[in-house]
Amino acid sequence: MLETASRKRSLDQKFWIALGLYSVLGLGVWFTLGEGTTFVFGRPVEIRLIPLLVLGTFVFRTVMAREADKIRRRTSEDAGKL
């Protein structure tokens, strides 16, 4: 029981550190890339939005992995109670 609580705390801490680093990277992209545009599928898109979209997919993947781990942990705890 203590081991799982410690593991959960460690994973939560890593999750928040990862989100903090993603936000620092996003701010770095926003303030360092120029305001130029490029054409994507025939439409003008701001250059700085492209790396932000990539970072957004990493954030989404990180959040989904955390939620999946929570569900797995909950189902394994429920199976252990039976």
Degrees, nearest 5: CA angle 51-19-37: 15
* CA pseudo-torsion sign 25, 26, 31, 36: positive
Task: Check residue 6 and give its pLDDT.
Answer: 78
Task: Check residue 79 and give its pLDDT.
Answer: 72
DSSP per position, 29-64: HHHHS-S-EEEETTEEEETTHHHHHHHHHHHHHHHH
Domain segments of the chain as ranges = 47-77
The span from the CA of 28 to the CA of 23, in Å, is 8
Task: Check residue 53 and give its pLDDT.
Answer: 95
- Entry pTM: 0.79
Find residue 37's DSSP bridge partners: 46
Task: Check residue 10 and give its pLDDT.
Answer: 85
Task: Check residue 3 and give its pLDDT.
Answer: 60
